[in-house]
Amino acid sequence: MDFLRPTTWAEALAAKADRPEAVPIQGGTDVMVELNFDLHRPAALLDLNQVAELAEWTSEEDGRLRVGAGVPYVRLIAELGNRLPGLAQAARTVGSPQIRNRGTVGGNLGAASPAGDSHPPLLAGDAVIEVESAARGVRMIPAAEFYVGVKRSALEPDELIRAFRMSPATGPQYFSKVGTRNAMVIAVCSFAIALHPAERRVGTGIGSAAPTPRRALAAEEFLAAELDWDARLDPAVLARFGELAAEAASPIDDVRGTADYRRHAIGVMARRTLTWAWNEFRSGHFERRAG
């Protein structure tokens, strides 16, 4: 097995163009597990840890954040927790402190597992994934178009993930994840919500309850039409939102949970997260919770 160690982004892209079969490795928290389980035997590993720009984040002129694919969860929580609260909450639930020290959103996107915890908040927050190849340059892929199948993304073999771009929160955001233990657990299912008050719109993301992470589109459209932004939350609207979110899921039975339970839990989490977000929005301040 070859071990490629580019030190710049250009070198990394060149290496990937040259060896499209090379498997990128960032934190290695997915890659190393797959190697250790002997799930596949890649001909080459492309180590991105020397590429300094991947570990940086910046504020762009359009006001959005551009977060390098190699920024580990622990820094995302510490440095961007206030601006990307939904994603930071999701990051807090990833694995254990060791995993959060190494693991990255870039790697989560690269793996594109339906259970990846970054995905629901990226979807709810309208994130755009910046990918690049030496041959065709940069492509901007909205999160909703990035996930194309179970553990498959829109990334081409000669492309690498450079960053994701996302606006700092303009309203409350929440992430909620069901697991059968209180830490170190892969999501049985998860749900993210982001209020976009300026647009009078609510974004959603469903995790681990369909072949890919996905938005609950009908539920979002329902709220866009029915939610009265100047009033208290109508219980009938809340209930309907929960139903529509549950209907958006198409889960399966597996060892982690049953399809029926997942659908039920998505409904409960949708109602709860909307309630929290709404209460916070109406109270006019962002409530900070520990965790």
Ligand X SMILES: Cc1cc2nc3c(=O)[nH]c(=O)nc-3n(C[C@H](O)[C@H](O)[C@H](O)COP(=O)(O)OP(=O)(O)OC[C@H]3O[C@@H](n4cnc5c(N)ncnc54)[C@H](O)[C@@H]3O)c2cc1C
Asked if 184 touches another protein (CB under 8 A), the answer is yes
Name which of 182 and 225 has its Cβ closer to another protein: 182
d(CA 287, CA 88): 14
Long-range contact set of residues 43-46: C-beta below 8 Å, sequence gap at least 24: 43/1, 43/2, 43/19, 44/1, 44/2, 44/3, 44/4, 44/19, 45/1, 45/2, 45/3, 45/4, 46/4, 46/6, 46/12, 46/15, 46/16, 46/19, 46/22
Smallest distance from another protein to CB 283, Å = 14
Instruction: Select the residue interacting with another protein from 37, 40, 62, 97 (CB under 8 A).
Output: 37
CA-based torsion, 40, 46, 50, 52: positive or negative = negative
Chosen from ligand X, another protein, none, partner binding at 230 (C-beta under 5 to 8 Å by type): none
Name which of 70 and 85 has its Cβ closer to another protein: 85
Asked if 35 touches ligand X (CB under 6 A), the answer is no
Name which of 119 and 256 has its Cβ closer to another protein: 256
d(CA 252, CA 254): 6
Instruction: Select the residue interacting with another protein from 265, 270, 274, 277 (CB under 8 A).
Output: 265
Instruction: Select the residue interacting with ligand X from 85, 107, 205, 213 (CB under 6 A).
Output: 107
Instruction: Select the residue interacting with another protein from 59, 82, 258, 283 (CB under 8 A).
Output: 258
User: What residue type is assigned to position 80 of the chain?
Assistant: L
List the Cα angle 110/11/143 in 5-degree steps: 25
Spell out the residues 6+ positions from residue 228 whose beta carbon is closer than 8 angstroms to its own. 234
Spell out the residues 6+ positions from residue 38 whose beta carbon is closer than 8 angstroms to its own. none
Residues 180-199 that bind ligand X (CB under 6 A): 186
Asked if 102 touches ligand X (CB under 6 A), the answer is yes
Asked if 110 touches ligand X (CB under 6 A), the answer is yes
Q: What does the per-residue mask of binding to another protein show for 143-182, with x meaning CB under 8 A?
A: -------------------------------xxxxxxxxx
Asked if 256 touches another protein (CB under 8 A), the answer is yes
Token readout for 290 is 């520990």
187 CA to centre of own chain: 13
Q: Are 270 and 262 in contact (CB under 8 A)?
A: no
Chosen from ligand X, another protein, none, partner binding at 51 (C-beta under 5 to 8 Å by type): none
Name which of 103 and 125 has its Cβ closer to ligand X: 103
The Cβ of residue 166 has, within 10 Å, a number of other Cβ atoms equal to 25
The Cβ of residue 97 has, within 10 Å, a number of other Cβ atoms equal to 9
Smallest distance from another protein to CB 264, Å = 5
Asked if 23 touches ligand X (CB under 6 A), the answer is yes
Binding residues (CB under 8 A) for another protein: these are: 36-38, 89, 92-93, 96, 174-186, 188, 255-258, 260-261, 263-265, 268-269, 272, 275-276, 289-291
